[in-house]
Each structure stands twice: as structure tokens, then as C-alpha cells.
Amino acid sequence: MTGEQPVGRISRRNFLGGASATAVLLGTGALNSGQAHALPPELGDPFTLGVASGDPLPDSVVLWTRLAPDPVAADGRGGMPPETFGVRYEVAEDREFGRIVRRGAAEATPELGHSVHPEVDGLRPGREYFYRFRAGRAVSPVGRTRTAPARGARVDRLRFALASCQAWVGGRYAAYRTMAEDDLDFVVHVGDYIYEGGGTRTLADFRLLHARYKGSEDLRAAHAAFAFVTTFDDHEVDNNWTGDVPQDDTPSFLELRANAFQAYYEHLPLRIGARPDGADMRLYRRFTFGDLLELTVLDTRQYRTDQADGRFIAPRDTDALDGDRTMTGAKQERWLLDGLAGSRARWNAIGQQTIMAFYDYDTSESVSINHDQWDGYAAARDRLLGFVAERRPSNVVVLSGDWHSSWVNDLKADFTDPGSETLATEFVGTSISSGCGWRDSVAAALGANPHVKFFDGDFRGYTRCTVTPAKWRTDYRVVNDPSDPAGPAFTLASFAVADGVAGARRLDTGDGISGEVTDADGGATLASVAVEARTPNGTVAGRGSTDPDGRYRLLVTPGDYEVVATAGSYRTASRAVTVPADGVAQVDLTLQRLTGAAAGIGKRLASSLAQASTEDIVIENGMLAMVVAAVTEDGQLRGTTRGKVLDMAIRGRADQLDWINVGYASATEPAGTEAWQQTTVRYDDVRVERPGPGSAAVRASGSATDFPALRVSTTYRIEPEQPWIVAESTFTNTGSAPITSWIGDSMDHDGAGQRSGVPGHGTITTPYGSPRHYEPTEPWIGQTGTDPQTYGLIYDDGYPGLTAQATGNWVLSQLRVDIPPAGSTTFTRRIVAVDNAGAIDPFAVLSELYRASR
Ligand SMILES: [Fe+2]
């Protein structure tokens, strides 16, 4: 609908300023109802959520804003009265609005949270435009956008960014802040724009979450700088949802999905075609940029088959290979393949959510996959890649997100045969801010996946693609700290794909200090070493860790640094370096193994799962290292983390633990799904009792929350050359009444493929929820994952009645004790970390250690 349209009580003259422009009243679905009011100034600035543009066509873009003077008002209405208001917009060729080319109006209705999505057409192709909104007397910030080049026109260059996964980090997004200063034609966002949390379910809940994210000035700046093409993944709705199936037993999930879809639409620059109809929303669509690029954007959530296995990385469920499985649904798949067949563009990009390349997380004979990604839908991948093999569409490049890490993958005709043809190229963009706890699980299996040309899980950022007829170039632009309000972005690595040759090759080594860390004893390269660059005044300017090849990268600007490498079971090493003006330096380091035993602060274990800081206490020998929390808190043990085990690894390996809760004292028997989260012992004093080197000890003392008279103290003791740390807890009854308590420990392994072990019951893989009781045939419990490191607690003999509870995710020991007035009970166990060498029974090693000590 075009034509000058008066809206409500606003006079046409005021509204359009008399210009000879075309007004387009679109996007709300309620075309000129005649009910729109002028926004009263006393409501305050209605443009707190910023402005945006999106879905560029050669003659048109969609603009967006949402009136929300009180964006986080609890009712989700943004501080707006339940009435319809008029919003005007102007589009100009210049930032000063001297050459206005379009003016128009839209109605902001309460039904759509007072968002507007006017589609402005009649624009010229391949051109930059500026836009702004007015509501009442308020004027919005100015946004910039760009139309697509004309269909079929010759285009020499396009540059865009790929973004995903922007977990809330407090308001600043370093990746968006730096992206907004980049030179881009548009941005593709492939999902996890928000992260829903337990209890996000009503429209108000989802609106508030979106409003909070738009509270970030950096996100608003990126939207104001470039047109966005967005599609959702899982967290805009529910973790790992598929079709009409939620992850957990969410009641009336379709109602939740409808609310999530509506809030998504209300907060993004989407055209009217994407407006949800209840729980349905058509989001897959296609964009053409002259003769150079066709961009297909998929929805791989709404129409897909449910995951074959609820656990995200696990031995491959045979159902994952079922031929009927679909990622896109049959209709979208047909549309995708027809589009590829009909495309005339030199490059055919497919923007979608999860990793498409095969990835086997298991380095042994068996195969472990992420069931939520295309590996869980192998037949759907085969159909797509089979089509590429047969029909040969020009230069297929897949753009993915979801996995919070940077990858370059060859998409092979046969992933099990490295010699088979590479049919397409996949670039997986890292997250804007979300963490990568599985970094070490991926890194450990890289050798078994030769089609993966590059992987980095350390850095957050965005991915910049520069497309020319002869070459596609991808730069991984990353930041040191995802919430940093000031630091620059660096190039981590650059890759290129040549026209007509699928598969990327590396162009350069990227910015900053890089190098290799080796073991002084034998010269082997060392993985999982924490490496830092410190400025002369001691500030940490860059931080990273070594990969499986012992290589690290620190992103720093030119200047003088001290490069410091620390690892459990090794002495800390450092070297001075000057990073020259070209920004690249090489520093190799060699680490000496620790002799004797040690306990102290100043070290951290490098691991994507490690939580401890350098202020927590490391107790270690040349075989293993363990961190006892002195300052760091874990969200699941809030207030009771101190004195408990946060990180632990054997020499040369990465920590796989969430925590070991050493010592609880509960008045009731632990029960239920959350039985493991025992917070009944609170250590208020944690100190190094003996620093080494003959032996080292750490002591934690405190009390039990269930029993005011019960004092608890635990001593962790390590000797040289032993694969364990002895933990001795003494429960002392200082009162005058007898105490009956359940005591024990719980353990939470967080690595990929996590599973528990209880002697006599084998490997326990039951899913989270409904833990079972077990009678162990020997007094130990353990956990492991795809990493061949087994963790265990081996109890001294003499605790008859010791039992266990477990699921695949956690294991807990329990013992009922009676402690008389002025009496005490001592509970002694060895905390073990050992290499199980990928044994069929990864827990046999605990049994051997137990038996050897009898
Ligand atoms: Fe994510």
C-alpha cells in the first residue's frame, strides 16, 4: 500500500511535512485504522531500544523500532499505554537528512508491543541510506542501511559479518562495538539472539528479555550501522527445542513458542512475511546480491525431527542415521534445493544454525557426536551434499553458529574418507559472547577429524566475509574479553576459498603473540597450558591456552610484554617480548616438571571447564594438580564453594570437573534430582597448611548448616609421586546432644560424554533426573567422559553402610553416622585423577588402586 496517509489525530501536514514523498504504512498488519494517537511527550524517550533495518532487497529494506519509554516495565509493555500510536519515518541519502527520499508512517499497536516494521520501497539498488523515526516530539537515533545490488548486476565486492550466540554479559558487547566500526554491507545473525532461562514463558517474559538485550549500547550500535538478516536457533525459544518438542516437559509448549516467536518478531527488523501466526512463523528466505552472492537463510528448528538422543555429546545413537530424519522439513528442503538449482550467483551461501560437518568427539573406534547438530540428522546432510555433488551449484559456502567457537570445515562427499571430494566449504562463526565449555572436548578430537581445517574455542567475536568474483575471504575477528567496553578486535585467522575450488586455505597467521610450549623433559609439546601476556605494570593484556599441538595465541597490541606460562604439575615459566608495529611476535616456552609437592596461589589450570582464579589454592605434585576454592564461587554451591574442589587434572591434561563437593553433613538423606547439590557444609577458613616440597597440605574448616553444633574440618594432603590427594574430614559434635547425620561427597564431571561409575554397577549413563541408589561392591565412586581421564573418590575401608546415588551426570556417596556429644567422626578418602588410556571399562583403574592399597 502506498500513498500519503494521515494517521489518527496527527494532521497530514505535520505528519509528512509537505514533502512529495511516498508514505508506506506497513508492518503492523493494521493499516491505517485511523485510531493512532500522537505519543504524549510525558511518557519519555520512546526510542530506548534503538533502531534497526533488515532484509535488504535491491529496492527496499524493512525498518524497525519499538516504542518503549520504560523498556523493562514488568508487564512487558515497555511503559506504553494500551493504545495505538503513530510513528513516522524518514529515509535520506545523507546522514544530515538534507536529501530525504522517502517519508512514511506506521501504526505502533499494543498487540505488537508498539513495534513497527515499515517496509520502504522505491529505493535505488546497492546504495547507502540513512533513516530515523519520530513519535510525538521524540526523534530516534539515526540508522544506516544499504540496499542489495540490482538482480543480475555485476558486483565486484560484498562484505558482511556473521554473528551468533550473544549470552548476556552485563551490557557491553565488545564484538558488536568493534563490528559497528567495521566496513560492512550487512550482518547475518544465525541465532541465540537471546538466552531464555528457566521460567521464560509468557509474552511479557520474552519481551523483557529482548528489551534487556537491546539495553546494550553496542548491540544497538551494530543494528544502527547495518541491515541485519536474522534467523533464530534454540535459545530464542527453549534450549534444544525441535518442532513442537521442548527439551524438558514444558507444559503447553506451543503457547510458549508462540510467545517467543512474537517477541522475536517484535524486536527484529523482519518483514511482514515473517509475522508469526500463533506458534507458526515463516523465517526461511533468500536474498540475491547481483551476480555475486545468493544468501539462503534457513530455519532448522521449527520443522525438524526431534533429536535422537537427549544428551548433547554422546556415543552416536543409531536413530541418528535414520533416513527419514530432517533438519528443515520436506517443504523447506525442496525450496532450498530448488533455490540452489536455480541460482545464477557465483557464490551460494547458506546461513543456518548448527555445525554441518561431521565431528567425531571420540578418538577411539566408537563414534560420539553432538545429536543436536547435523550429525544427528546425517540423512538430511547427505541429501543436501548429494544434491551439490550431482547438480553442481556454484561455490556453496555454509555459514553456521551455535557452537561458540571458530571452525573451517571441508564438507566432504564421504567424511570417513579424507581422500573423497570436498563439495562445499563451511565457516562456523564464534559466539558474540557465549562461553565454550566444550573447547577441550573438541580440541582433543581434532586429530580424528582431518576435514576440520581450523578450530578455536578460546575467543569470542564475529566473522567477516569478503566476497569477490575470484575469491571468498573469511576473517575471524575476535576480542579478548566479550564484555570489554574499550579493547580492539584482532584477526585470529584468515581463510580463502577460490572460485570453483571448494575448501578453504589459510591466508595468514593472524595478529598478536603466538608460540609453542614444550616439556623440558623430552621436548613434547604441551596442551592445556595457561599463557598470559602481562604489561610492564602487571596488567594481563591477553590470555589464552595451548591447543593439542602445544600452540597458543595472545591478542595484544604492539608493546612490551612478559609472556607467562603456567600449568598444573609444572613450574611457571616466562619470557619478555616486544611486539613490533606489525603486531606479530613469536615466543616459545619450555616448562620444567614439578618435583616434590606444592600448595599455593598464583597459578591457574588451563581448561575450558576450569573455573578457579589465581587467588584459589593449587595443590599439586608432578603427576596431578587440584584447585581448592579460596575465593571463587560456583553457582550451584553458592556460599559453600570455599574449601571444595573446583578444578583437577593430571599432568598435561585439561580439567574436566565442574566440582567435587568434599564433605556434606545433611540432617536428611539426600534425595531427588538435585540430591547432588549439597550445600550443608560451609568452610569459612581455607589456608595452605604446608606449602611443600616434602609434602603439601591445605586445610579448610567450618561448620554444618543443618547442625549448629557440628564443626567440620577437611585437610587435603599430597605427597610426591602419588596419583591422588588424601582428603580427611573430621566432623566434631561440640554440643551436648547426639547428632545423626548423612555425610559424604558429590562429584560433577562437566566434560563431553560424562558418565559415572559405581563398583558392581558398571558405567552409569542414565539421564539427568531420577537418580538411582546403588550398593557399591567396593568403596569408591568415579566419573569420566570422552577425555580418557578418570576421576574418583576411593574411601578407606571401615565405613560399612556407605552407599551411592548416581545418574550419568553426577555421583554422590552417603553414609549415616551417629556422633555423640563431644565426639567426632573422621572420614578419609583419596581424590584420584588417572589416565584410563581409553579402556573399555574406564573405572577399572579405580578398582585397581583400591585393591593395591588393601
Ligand atoms: Fe549459543
Q: Where are the alpha helices (DSSP H) in 413-524?
A: 439-444
pLDDT in tens, 200-210: 999 999 999 99
Tell how far the Cα of 250 is from the centroid of ligand 1, in angstroms.
20
How many other CB atoms are there within 10 angstroms of residue 522's CB atom?
7
Tell how far the Cα of 192 is from the centroid of ligand 1, in angstroms.
5
At residue 528, does pLDDT exceed 50? yes
Tell how far the Cα of 235 is from the centroid of ligand 1, in angstroms.
7
Tell how far the Cα of 253 is from the centroid of ligand 1, in angstroms.
20
Tell how far the Cα of 194 is from the centroid of ligand 1, in angstroms.
9
Closest by Cα among 109, 371, 141 to 266: 109
CA distance 39 to 483: 35
pLDDT in tens, 15-36: 333 333 333 344 433 345 567 8
pLDDT at 34: 60
Question: Strand 512-519 vs strand 589-591: parallel, antiparallel, or unpaired?
Answer: parallel
Tell how far the Cα of 86 is from the centroid of ligand 1, in angstroms.
36
Tell how far the Cα of 166 is from the centroid of ligand 1, in angstroms.
7
pLDDT at 510: 80
DSSP state of 608: T
Helix (H, G, I), strand (E, B) or coil at 636: helix
The separation between CA 469 and the C-alpha centre of its own chain, rounded to angstroms, equals: 33
At residue 5, does pLDDT exceed 50? no
The owner of cell 616434590 is 596
At residue 12, does pLDDT exceed 50? no
Tell how far the Cα of 611 is from the centroid of ligand 1, in angstroms.
20
Tell how far the Cα of 406 is from the centroid of ligand 1, in angstroms.
13
Tell how far the Cα of 428 is from the centroid of ligand 1, in angstroms.
12
Q: Which range is most confident: 238-247, 361-370, 398-407, 502-511?
A: 398-407
CA distance 29 to 26: 6
CA distance 781 to 766: 15
Mean pLDDT calculated for residue range 281-304: 98
Tell how far the Cα of 402 is from the centroid of ligand 1, in angstroms.
5
Tell how far the Cα of 404 is from the centroid of ligand 1, in angstroms.
6
Tell how far the Cα of 559 is from the centroid of ligand 1, in angstroms.
35
pLDDT at 766: 86
- CA angle, corner 760, sides to 756 and 764, nearest 5? 25
Q: Quote the mean pLDDT of the chain.
A: 93
Helix (H, G, I), strand (E, B) or coil at 291: coil
Omega before 125 cis (within 30°)? no
pLDDT at 311: 67
User: Can you list the positions of beta strands (E) in 358-470?
Assistant: 368-370, 396-400, 406-412, 422-428, 452-456, 460-467
Q: Whole-model pTM? A: 0.86
pLDDT at 10: 35
Top CATH class of 1-147 equals mainly beta
Tell how far the Cα of 233 is from the centroid of ligand 1, in angstroms.
8
Where along the chain do the CATH 2.60.40.380 domains lie? 1-147
Tell how far the Cα of 165 is from the centroid of ligand 1, in angstroms.
4
User: Can you list the positions of beta strands (E) in 60-109?
Assistant: 60-66, 85-92, 100-108
Tell how far the Cα of 438 is from the centroid of ligand 1, in angstroms.
12
Residues 6 or more apart whose Cβ sits within 8 Å of residue 231: 189, 190, 191, 283, 284, 297, 298, 299, 351, 352, 353
Tell how far the Cα of 184 is from the centroid of ligand 1, in angstroms.
23
In CATH terms, the fold of domain 512-593 is Immunoglobulin-like (2.60.40)
Where along the chain do the CATH 3.60.21.70 domains lie? 148-508
At residue 134, does pLDDT exceed 60? yes
pLDDT at 24: 39
Tell how far the Cα of 433 is from the centroid of ligand 1, in angstroms.
9
CA distance 53 to 229: 9
pLDDT at 310: 56
Question: Strand 85-92 vs strand 119-120: parallel, antiparallel, or unpaired?
Answer: unpaired
Tell how far the Cα of 400 is from the centroid of ligand 1, in angstroms.
11
Tell how far the Cα of 805 is from the centroid of ligand 1, in angstroms.
31
Where along the chain do the CATH 2.70.98 domains lie? 624-852
At residue 90, does pLDDT exceed 80? yes
Neighbours of ion ligand 1 (CB under 5 A): 165, 192, 434
Mean pLDDT calculated for residue range 796-802: 93
Tell how far the Cα of 353 is from the centroid of ligand 1, in angstroms.
9
pLDDT at 854: 80
pLDDT at 245: 87
Mean pLDDT calculated for residue range 186-196: 98
Mean pLDDT calculated for residue range 68-75: 97
How many other CB atoms are there within 10 angstroms of residue 39's CB atom?
25
Top CATH class of 624-852 equals mainly beta
Tell how far the Cα of 554 is from the centroid of ligand 1, in angstroms.
24
At residue 768, does pLDDT exceed 60? yes
CA distance 780 to 444: 28
pLDDT in tens, 321-363: 999 999 999 999 999 999 999 999 999 999 999 999 999 998 8
pLDDT in tens, 821-841: 999 999 999 999 999 988 889
Mean pLDDT calculated for residue range 760-770: 87
Query: Would you state the torsion angle of the CA atoms of residues 381, 386, 388, 390, taken in this order, to the nearest 10 degrees?
Result: -170
pLDDT at 315: 87
DSSP state of 2: B
pLDDT at 472: 98
pLDDT at 36: 86
At residue 248, does pLDDT exceed 90? no
Do the beta carbons of residue 269 and residue 117 sit within 8 Å?
A: yes
Tell how far the Cα of 455 is from the centroid of ligand 1, in angstroms.
17
CA distance 319 to 316: 8
Specify the CATH number of the domain 148-508.
Answer: 3.60.21.70
Mean pLDDT calculated for residue range 448-456: 96
Tell how far the Cα of 604 is from the centroid of ligand 1, in angstroms.
26
